[in-house]
């Protein structure tokens, strides 16, 4: 078998709408696109960098250059995942390699990944995220989403620094904007509430036809989760508290579900373990995103037929998407029919 050849490019991806969450505002993301070529096929992967999390582009390029200088003959995706984990390579850099290898193998076998895995096609409509800190901006953002994408679910970012009264105003503005339409609202607090606020907002949102709450408690009060869980009116999902499958048993008795992300867990290989571990604990499963373009979304999309909830929308909010891939049909993110994950590059690299 031919050697693997590694290369990469950095893209600065600009959001159409800034994303405001409990920890700040995001306008742009720096994404590293990874290419793994063998023979005449090239697998593509993506890393989203984050200074907040210590996930740096330069560190990833250096670590992956070293790794592929030493490992030109890759035979096991699982062993590669473990090698990179043991070298403390950042999870999104691992994810980029992992999805590129799965893409490459899918192309070599001439099968889209969901067919390679014998997985069902996606059937659950995606949430589309609304992250804004004033009622006017919430209404403007939803107006744009309704005009362009016709979603069935909107995920409203709450837990903002303005406090629970502001959160209630934002949620009410969203409700008002979608009135009369077949759209369900979900809430992600991104760890922005105290235990007291979370108990209060769970009660309030349960009377407003909210679907579920994601990551309600701030890190300092996460020990209050069992107390909140016993009194909850709405299903509780954890996102930030769970990165890998090993994290699930710690919280399994005190949540309804987990939100996995390829960038947090190091890619598709660990995503399979998360899905199995969550189902073994009788938890609901969700897949989310973290500013990925069509590349990361295309890779994640092939898993969604195995999951209960889908939140793959970051590529919809990009001005300069570097690739083609999934389509958005009747609310569902659907995979490309091409072999592998199906994303193909369309933009040259941008200077950072």
| Closer of 90 and 259 to Mg ion (Cβ) | 259
Residue nearer to Mg ion on the CB measure, 214 or 313:
214
Whether the CB-CB separation of 155 and 187 falls below 8 Å is answered with yes
* Cross-strand pairs, 130: 156
Cα–Cα distance, 51 to 64 (Å, whole number): 18
* Residue 264 C-beta: closest distance to Mg ion, Å: 10
Q: Return the closest-CA partner of residue 321 out of 11, 98, 96.
A: 11
Taking contact as CB under 5 A, which single stretch among the options 73-81, 131-139, 213-221, 312-320 is the one that binds Mg ion? 213-221
CB of 21 to Mg ion, least distance (A): 8
Asked if 337 and 300 count as a contact pair (C-beta separation under 8 A), the reply is no
Closest residue by Cα to residue 155 from 127, 113, 132, 180: 127
Q: Which is nearer to Mg ion, 214 or 221 (CB)?
A: 214
Closest separation in Å from C-beta 40 to Mg ion: 39
For Mg ion, the closer CB: 103 or 221: 221
Kindly state whether residue 188 participates in binding Mg ion, applying the rule CB under 5 A: yes
Of 259 and 269, the one with the shorter C-beta distance to Mg ion is 259
Q: How far is the CB of 65 from Mg ion (least distance, A)?
A: 32
Question: Applying CB under 5 A, which part among 31-39, 206-214, 290-298, 337-345 lies near Mg ion?
Answer: 206-214
Q: State the nearest-atom distance from the C-beta of 115 to Mg ion, in Å.
A: 29
153 touches 147 (CB < 8 A): no
Is 313 a binding residue for Mg ion by CB under 5 A? The answer is no
The enclosing H or E element of 142 equals: helix 135-148
x-marked contacts with Mg ion along 228-267 as a string, rule CB under 5 A: -----------x----------------------------
Which two three-digit tokens encode residue 334? Answer: 């659907």
Residue with the closest Cβ to Mg ion?
A: 239
Shortest Å distance, C-beta 240 to Mg ion: 7
Among 36, 74, 92, 104, residue whose Cα is nearest residue 83: 74
Q: Where are the alpha helices (DSSP H) in the chain?
A: 57-70, 77-86, 91-108, 113-116, 135-148, 163-178, 195-206, 225-231, 248-251, 262-265, 268-280, 294-301
Q: Contact between 292 and Mg ion (CB under 5 A)?
A: no
Q: Which spans of this chain sit near Mg ion (rule: CB under 5 A)?
A: 188, 214, 239
């Amino acid at each position: 078998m031919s050697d693997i050849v590694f290369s990469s490019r950095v893209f600065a991806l600009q959001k159409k709408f800034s994303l405001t969450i409990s920890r700040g505002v995001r306008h742009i993301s720096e994404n590293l696109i990874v290419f793994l070529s063998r023979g005449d096929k090239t697998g593509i992967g993506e890393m989203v960098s984050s200074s907040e999390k210590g996930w740096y582009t330069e560190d990833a390029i250096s670590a992956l250059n070293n790794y592929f200088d030493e490992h030109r003959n890759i035979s096991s995706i699982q062993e590669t995942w473990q090698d990179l984990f043991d070298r403390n390579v950042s999870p999104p850099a691992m994810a980029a390699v992992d999805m590129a290898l799965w893409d490459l193998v899918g192309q070599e076998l001439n099968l889209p990944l969901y067919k390679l895995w014998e997985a069902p096609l996606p059937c659950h409509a995606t949430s589309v995220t609304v992250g804004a800190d004033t009622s006017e901006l919430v209404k403007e953002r939803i107006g744009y989403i309704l005009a362009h994408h016709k979603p069935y679910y909107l995920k409203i970012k709450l837990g903002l620094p303005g406090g629970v009264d502001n959160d209630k105003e934002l949620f009410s503005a969203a409700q008002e904007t979608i009135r009369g339409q077949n759209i369900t609202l979900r809430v992600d607090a991104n760890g922005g509430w105290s235990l007291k606020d979370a108990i209060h907002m769970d009660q309030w949102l349960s009377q407003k036809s909210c679907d579920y709450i994601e990551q309600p408690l701030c890190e300092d009060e996460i020990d209050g989760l069992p107390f909140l869980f016993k009194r909850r009116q709405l299903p509780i999902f954890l996102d930030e508290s769970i990165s890998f499958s090993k994290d699930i048993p710690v919280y399994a008795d005190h949540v309804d579900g987990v939100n996995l992300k390829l960038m947090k867990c190091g890619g598709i290989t660990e995503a399979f373990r998360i899905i199995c571990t969550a189902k073994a604990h009788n938890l609901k499963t969700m897949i989310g995103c973290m500013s990925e373009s069509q590349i990361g979304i295309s890779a994640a999309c092939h898993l969604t037929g195995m999951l209960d909830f889908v939140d793959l929308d970051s590529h919809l909010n990009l001005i300069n998407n570097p690739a083609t891939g999934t389509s958005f049909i009747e609310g569902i993110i659907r995979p490309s029919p091409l072999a592998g994950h199906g994303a193909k590059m369309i933009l040259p690299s941008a200077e950072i």
